[in-house]
Chain A
Amino acid sequence: MNDLLPLISRHGYVLLAALCLAEACGFPFPAGLAILTAGAVAAYGGLHFHAVFVTALIAILIGDVTLYFLGRVTGWSLLAILCRLSASPESCILRSAEYFYRRGKTTLLFAKFIPGINTMSPPLAGSMKMRIEQFLQFDAVGAGLYVGAYALVGYLFSDFLRAITRGLRSAGFAMEVIVGIAIAAYVGYRIWVYRKYRLLDVAPRVPVDELARRLASDGPNILIVDVRSHGYYDEDAERIAGSVRIEPNNLEEEVKNLPKDREIYLYCT
Chain B
Amino acid sequence: MARLLQQEGFKAFVIAGGLRAWRKAGNPVEPVPQNDLVKLPSFT
B-binding residues in A (CB < 8 A): 76, 93-94, 97-98, 101, 125, 127-131, 200-209, 211-212, 224, 226-228, 232-233, 235-242, 245, 248, 251, 255, 258, 260, 262-269
Shortest Cβ distance from B35 into A: residue = A245
Most buried by B among A101, A202, A228, A240: A240
> A268–B37 contact, CB under 8 A?
no
> A268–B12 contact, CB under 8 A?
no
> A263–B13 contact, CB under 8 A?
yes
> B27–A240 contact, CB under 8 A?
yes
Contact of A233 among B8, B10, B37, B43 (CB under 8 A): B37
Contact with A along B30-43 (1 / 0, CB 8 A): 11100011101111
> B27–A212 contact, CB under 8 A?
yes
Main secondary structure of the interface of B (DSSP, over half): mixed
In angstroms, Cα B21 to Cα A266, docked, is: 13
Give 24 pairs: A residue, B residue, CB < 8 Å, sorted on A: A94-B40, A97-B40, A101-B41, A101-B43, A200-B3, A204-B13, A205-B15, A208-B27, A233-B40, A237-B37, A238-B19, A238-B30, A239-B29, A239-B31, A240-B22, A240-B29, A251-B1, A260-B10, A262-B11, A263-B13, A266-B2, A266-B15, A267-B15, A268-B18
| Shortest beta-carbon distance from A109 to chain B in Å | 16
> A128–B41 contact, CB under 8 A?
yes
| Interfacial chain A residues near B21, Cβ < 8 Å | 207-208
In angstroms, Cα B38 to Cα A235, docked, is: 9
In angstroms, Cα B19 to Cα A212, docked, is: 13
Q: Report how many A-B pairs have Cβ atoms within 8 Å.
A: 136
> B3–A203 contact, CB under 8 A?
yes
> A76–B12 contact, CB under 8 A?
no
| Interfacial chain A residues near B1, Cβ < 8 Å | 227, 248, 251, 266
Q: Which 9 A-B pairs have the closest CB atoms?
A: A203-B2, A241-B28, A101-B41, A267-B15, A237-B32, A205-B16, A129-B44, A238-B29, A241-B30
In angstroms, Cα B44 to Cα A240, docked, is: 31
> A211–B15 contact, CB under 8 A?
yes
> A206–B16 contact, CB under 8 A?
yes
> B10–A265 contact, CB under 8 A?
no
| Interfacial chain B residues near A258, Cβ < 8 Å | 5, 10
> B10–A264 contact, CB under 8 A?
yes
| Shortest beta-carbon distance from A128 to chain B in Å | 5
In angstroms, Cα B42 to Cα A130, docked, is: 8
A241-B29 CB under 8 A given contacts A94-B38, A269-B19: yes
| Interfacial chain B residues near A204, Cβ < 8 Å | 13-14
In angstroms, Cα B1 to Cα A265, docked, is: 11
| Interfacial chain A residues near B19, Cβ < 8 Å | 226, 228, 238-240, 267-269
| Interfacial chain B residues near A201, Cβ < 8 Å | 3
> B12–A203 contact, CB under 8 A?
yes
| Interfacial chain A residues near B10, Cβ < 8 Å | 255, 258, 260, 264
| Shortest beta-carbon distance from A254 to chain B in Å | 10
